Structure formats: C-alpha cells, structure tokens
Amino acid sequence: MTIPNSEGFFPSDSCLPRAPAEEKDIIMELIRSSEASIKEGDLYYLVSHRWWMEWQEYVDLDQSDENSNEGIFCIPRRPGEIDNSNLLLNESVVEGNELDLKRSLQEGEDYSLVPQDAWKKLLEWYRGGPELPRKVISEGFITKKFNVEVYPLCLQLVDGRDKSQRTLKISRMASVRELYNMVCMLFELEKEKVSIWDYYNKTKHQFLNNFDQTLEEAQLLMDQEVLLEVQDDKLWPSNVSMSSAGNELALVPLEPSRSSVTIAGGPMLSNSYSTGFRSNFLEGGNFSSSQRDTEDRDDVLNNGIKVDGQGLTGLHNLGNTCFMNSALQCLVHTPPLVDYFLQDYSEEINKENPLGMQGELAIVFGELLRKLWSSGRTSVAPRAFKAKLARFAPQFSGYNQHDSQELLAFLLDGLHEDLNRVRSKPYIEAKDADGRPDDEFAEECWQNHKARNDSIIVDVCQGQYKSTLVCPVCSKVSVTFDPFMYLSLPLPSTATRTITVTVFSGDGSSLPMPFTVTVPKNGCCKDLIQALSTASCLKHTEALVLAEVYGNRIYRYLENSFESLSNIKDEEHIVAYRLPIHHEKLLRLEILHRRAEGFLSEPRYSAHLKLLGTPLVTTLSVDSRTGADIHAAVLSVLAPLLRANSLTWSHGDKSSRDSGSGPSLDSIVLSDNGIQCSEETLSTSDMELEEVHNSIPDIQLALADGKVISRSTVDVDYTVPVSRLKVVMNWSDREHEIYDFSFLEDLPEVFKSGFMSKKTRQEAITLYSCLEAFIKEEPLGPDDMWYCPRCKEHRQATKKLDLWRLPDILVVHLKRFSYSRFMKNKLDTFVNFPVHNLDLSKYVGHRESASSSLVYELYAISNHYGGLGGGHYSAFAKLLEEDSWFHFDDSHVSPVNENEIKKSAAYVLFYQRVGVESKMDVRETGISPDSSNF
C-alpha cells in the first residue's frame, strides 16, 4: 500500500526511500561523473553541512574516519528534509534572483557543495531547500583552476545623478563590458553615454574603460562603491588619462568601507571552492605588458596611528586579507630584501622565465615594499598586489581566509623565478653519490642547483638538507642533497605520554611484570621498545616483541618499529614478550588458555569453552616440532607460575608428566597460515590424530597429556614453511591448584584515568625539540613509497633528514594545522623559541667556512590566533636599526616589548644569521621609496 506524504501527494517510485548503500552509490557516482567533466559555468549547490553529515552517516560514507567508534553498532537515522535556512542572512530575494547568504560561512563547517545532478537527486529524495546554486568559474593565468564562486562580487552602485545607491551582484570574473551591460539594462541607458568609475572610499580612482578586463583584474573589491556617470555630449570624461607607452593605466584601489558584513580578519568569507581537480597548464601564455601599478590618492585611514618612522606602515585589510598582510610585513622587514628592493633591480627582472610571472610579481612586490618604507604614511591598501596575486595564484583569489605560510611559500618561489639571473637553464642529469664523500657530493648538488637557480632569494633564503632513504628489504641506502626555502617543523600537541605494558618472559625465567614508561606522544613503537628495554633491564641477548591482546588472544603484533604510537589507544592492553635476539629465525609458539570443566569425549563440548587469561609466547628451533618438544616448552614458560606447595618437576621430564605433577593439559596446535602439520611433526610413534571442531576456526590437531588420538586420515605436506604455532590449553581445577593463574589475568590498560594519583607534568616544547622531531628517522607514508633501484619495486623506506647548509635568512614554519578528509585541527601548544642565540651547530653537518656562524637572531613572527576558519593573523617585526619590536595588525602599528612576543600564536618564525650586516641604511640610500625605475 502506498502512503501519501506529508503534503498529501503519493510519491513516485523515484521518490520512495532507497537503501542507504544504494543512495550512497548513486550520489557518489554522480559526484565522480561531474568532477571528471567539470567546466566553467557548471552549477554547484550549497547544502547545509549539518544535514550533509547526517546523510553521510546514514549511508555510512564516513566509514574510513579514523575517529569512528569501532565495535559500537547502531542503526543511523534517515535525515529529514534538507534545511538550508541556517545559511541565509534573510529569505528576501535581491537583484540577480539570489538569496543573500551569511557572510561568515565556512565550507566544511557551515556548508558543503554538491554538483547539480547530485543536488537534484537529493532534493527528489528528501525535498526541502531552499536551492542555492552557484557557478563554477575558471581562475588563474599561468595555471587554470576551477572554483565555485560562493560569494559573487557585491558592488554598491552610486548614481552620480541623484547619489542614490543600488546593490549589484556579479561574478568577479565577469568583464567590465558585462558590468556596463548590467548597468545599462537596469537603468535603460545607452552604453555610449555611460561611464563607470572605481569609486572606492567615495573617491574617483580608476575609470573603467578596459572592457576586456575582469572585475578582479580591475581591482574591484567586495562591497566597494562604483560611480555611474551619464554623459550627454561626449563619450568619455575629459579628465581621464589614457594609457601611454603601451601600458594601460591600473590604479591601486583602497580598502572597502567597513560595513556590518565585512569581517576584517574574522571568520573566513568563503568565496570559492577548490574541486580538487588537476590544473590545466596553458601553453604559450603570452599576455600584454605588465600594468603600471600607481599609488592611490588617499591611502591613509583615519583609524590608523600616525607613525613617521620608515618601515612602520600598516596594510589595509581588504576583506580577510590579514593572512596576506602578516606574511608581507615579515618579508618587507627582512633586511636583505629591503636592501635589494630599495635599489634599482630592473636588470635582474626575468621576463622570459616560463616558470615565473614575467617579472610582474617582483615589480608589484617591490613597489609595495617602497610604499611601506616611505615616510609619512599610516597604512597602504595593497589592492594592486592582491590583484596580481589573484591573477597568478588563483588559490588566493576572492575573500577567503588563507594560510600565511602557503602564501609565503608561493611568494618566495615566485619572486625567485621572476628574479632568476639564469636566463636559459641548462639540463643537468641527476647523479648518485656512488660512494663519494658527503662533502664532495653535496657541493656538486648545490652547484648544479645554482646553475639553474640564481637570485636574491637563493642568495639569502635557500639552504640544503641531506635526505637518507633506506630500503627495509635489501637495506639499499640512497643519499640525496636537496635545497629548501623554509623548514616545516612538526609540532607535538603534548611532549610525552605514559604507557603501561606487561612484560612476559619467553623462557620462564621471571613472572609477568607491568612497566609504566614515558615516551614521546608523536613517537613510534621503536621508542616504546627502547623505554621498556631500559625499564625491564633487557639482556643484550634478548629482544622485545610487542603485541596487542584482545579477547584473550593476540590480536596483532606491533612488528613495525616505526608504527606511530598514536595507533595505541589508552583502553587497549599491550604486552611485550622477551624472546631471543634472533627470534625471527625460530619457530614462534603461542600458548592460549581456556577453562575446562572436565574431559568429555564429544567434540561438541569444546564449543562451549571460552578463552581466558593472557597468551604466552616462546620459541622453538625450526626442527623441534614433536609433541615432546612442545610440551617441554609449555612447562618451561609455566614454571614461574608454580605455587610454592606444588610438586617439583624437571623441564621436559617424561616421568613428571606421567606422574601428573606437570599440567595435564589438552593442547591444540595450529599454524599461523592455516597449514596443518603432519602427524610425524607433532607426535611420537604411539600417538594418533584427532580432528577437533570448536569456536576457533583454524584448530586442526589435538594433543591430550602428551598423547594424540586420531580419527582423521588427513595428511598435509609439512615441508611448507611454518613460522608460528598455536597451542590452546584446557585448564581444570587441578591445574589451578598447581599454578597461580592470576598472573595471566587482569592485564592493565595502556592508560587509565585516575590511575596515577599525581598528574605528570607536561614537558616544555622547545624549538629544539621540534628540530629533533624533524630530523628523526621515520618511514615514508603508504602513499609516498620509494622505488628501490636494487629491489626494482616500490618500498616503504625509512627516511631521515639532516640539515647540511643553512641560509642567511632562516624561515621556520611550525606545523600547527593538520588536515584529513573528515577532520581539521589546530594545535595551540606554546613553543618556547629563542629570540636571541638560536644555535644550530649540533644540527648541521656542514660548515662553509670556519668563520661562518650557525647562530641566529629572531626578527619577525607571523602569528595566527583563533581557530581554523575564524582566526586572525598579525605580525611582530623588529626594526634592527632601532633595536625595537612592533606589532603589525593590519593597518594598526604599535610598539611592543620583546618579552611580549613569545606567544602560543607564533606560526612562522624569521631568523637572521648573526654576523650578516645590512648593506646599507635605508635612510641613507638617496632613493625615494616611492620612485620606480620600471
């Protein structure tokens, strides 16, 4: 019977609820199909992220989430109607037939984006809404990138005839011609009589006369004013200066008015969505000569603090551009770069480099630096710089909050390519060390790098590190020396953690003993083994094998010494077995335990037996597989558990077994790979085989009191290599009287809240500890396998980095942000970094000369405050000539004490090598910072 829906209509077959798995397959296929053929103009739809996550949970799309609760079974509830109302500022429709979105929305937190076909299917199944379509735009000049323009450009059109205002919404990638067409259509005007001005801050700046230019290239910003003038007698205003000398006029607009919806440095204004597609590289790439970026007429804000000193100029926030301002202030206060860009560097501009931006990035950065180092300014609006940035790096276009370190990486690399003194890069074949000394090979690699890369950025910002890869199979060692522009140092959230592990003897020499050790939280199993070896006084002839015990059996061995300790959860039970140092070459014998009420002949009785206690592990020689050998090994590891009043016995003594003084245990032997061993390997001549069926699926053989009874004629080839045997032992009341089984029960958890009465004090995280983590040996990720030239296969090699050559300017990036498909995280851990005398001598393997210093002084910091989307960036920078620190918070500049610059917000640190002198004092150069030779 078909039931009508809430609206009284009978749903069609397509509207009927489908199985979650079927929904998932349909939607994911639609998404894959759309992303595979994405093009400019395609539609994506916003959907409430809260609803989208409910749907993902319902269809079990998030099953790979590392934070999922394994073992907890629940039936997810089917989500209700799609509700996008939380995304809307109001539900009124404005020009362009679009609902107005809240300005603080963040992708992945407030909304998600789905292609049109997937949205239509979801709407068909769930109904609801409202629909919020957005178009795909293509951005970038050298490389193209598809983005979804969530927030179109919002302009305030001022009618010069009556000063009335009207809000226009148009794509920032629309052309000036399209803007004219929109205005003429709205006011029913003739295009020949219309002129539109960039009216930022209610001041005429640029006459918009280049019809083929995009609005973003015209440097129009969100919420700014544009002025409409209607001419009666002539086409263009007489006071417009047209282009000269082949260069079009490109004026630098200013900061938009601070309306209630402009969030300066606040929550991210999501304006684009990267679909994750591979960018298309445009061949050829000819474009017009670089635009002349001239000075704004009015670049001083009333809310700024008037500062006469050079280098104390703020930067306007153009709408979530605090990340850019923070990075720029650090760079423009880098002494060698100040010296360089205040001089005439026109001869070094490389316009032919296909990897560069034909010098345009270097020019606009140099002109911005000159403005910031000129006297008498309070703040500058970097609109020309942002326009160039959006043109060549579309990932920074729009009004999103971005990562200052990512911008720094792009900017340093872009400036290098624009200023590369090498006009024609020679081909240099990569060579191996071939056993040569590190000094010789490293110098060859550096000279090869310099033969292709030679710029002011390489001179002062690039160093070299040594990378060592070791194949885990054939032990092939590969050494390379690579350049670096900055160091990205890992940042542990907590320095250490405590882990409790129970250590078992593999030869019966001692009782099980729990040890609580302290290890690095971001460490690996190798660190845990080293700590346990020290705590348990491990002999040099022994080795520890870690294992996780679950359900009274060994769930897994932790045999990868580089496995992260983060994979060990606090509620787990971890044990360690003391085995011979070369245990890999021996036969590993696992001894499991279960409770036996009596010995019944019916095989079905064993199905009711349950495992108990903790497995024991010992080793046998590869040729010791008889029942007597196994029985002797079992007696050996059980020896420490003998009660004081029990009878004495000798290891492997047949008389003791026959007299009953040894354990009368029903033992079941099986191999780790399911290969049954033949009866000759497990029994003496008078033993017979019996097949046993119970809850353990791979049990195949049974031994009872050293005697095997057979019902089966199965005979499997025992020449197949077997590395592990398991013995399941039945414990009766009699064995419990002989042995103290309590030592094998109640394993302590890895960590239990309240277990330690006194809270362990957290170690301080220093910059040196971050460096230690950076150079620590670790395995490559599964997605970053190394091709071993000896094995001829990809291997998960171990990698170790060492600093070899340091630059004069050392940029240190603290990795505070971590991202995965389903989770974002920021670490606010305080890092104690030195302001003076950062000594790196112990971390560097090469010194260029005996006089070269490896000590550094801090001169700038890029700070990040708050969370991932709603954070804010600022900068601390030091004027070396005045030996004083200042806080650069967008357009506001204020002095700060040196003892106040150490904060948990520190994100990127800038150090200068001690002994590197500035080549000139900017106040004595004789060059006006505003002058330009380009």
Helices and strands (H, E) in the chain, number of each type: 17, 45
Nearest 5 degrees, angle CA 928-CA 930-CA 934? 100
Q: Do residues 654 and 784 make contact, with C-beta atoms less than 8 angstroms apart?
A: no
Burial letters for 581-618: b for 16+ Cβ neighbours within 10 Å, e otherwise? eebeebbbbbbbbbbbeeeeeeeeebeebeeebbbbbb
Strand residues in 65-127 grouped as ranges (E): 82-83, 88-94, 98-101, 111-115
Residue among 555, 553, 634 nearest 592 (CA): 553
Exposed / middle / buried, residue 634 (Cβ in 10 Å: 0-12, 13-18, 19+): buried
Kind of pairing between the strands at 496-505 and 513-520: antiparallel
Rounded Cα distance, 761 and 743, in Å = 31
**Percent of residues in the chain assigned helix, strand, coil, to nearest 5:** 25, 30, 50
Q: Which of 154, 205, 316, 322 is catalytic?
A: 322
447: helix, strand or coil: helix
Rounded Cα distance, 118 and 112, in Å = 12
Rounded Cα distance, 770 and 843, in Å = 12
Kind of pairing between the strands at 892-896 and 884-889: antiparallel
Rama region for 101: left / alpha / beta (φ>0; ψ in -120 to 50; rest)? beta
Active site residue 872: yes
The amino acid occupying position 580 is: P
Q: Do residues 344 and 336 make contact, with C-beta atoms less than 8 angstroms apart?
A: no
Q: Which pair of tokens denotes residue 577?
A: 């077995």
Adjacent-strand bridge partners of 799: 469, 778
The amino acid occupying position 33 is: S
The torsion angles phi and psi of 618, rounded to 5 degrees, stand at -140, -175
Residue among 187, 151, 188, 190 nearest 170 (CA): 151
Q: Which of 316, 333, 872, 887 is catalytic?
A: 872
Exposed / middle / buried, residue 354 (Cβ in 10 Å: 0-12, 13-18, 19+): exposed
Active site residue 322: yes
Q: Which residues are catalytic?
A: 322, 872
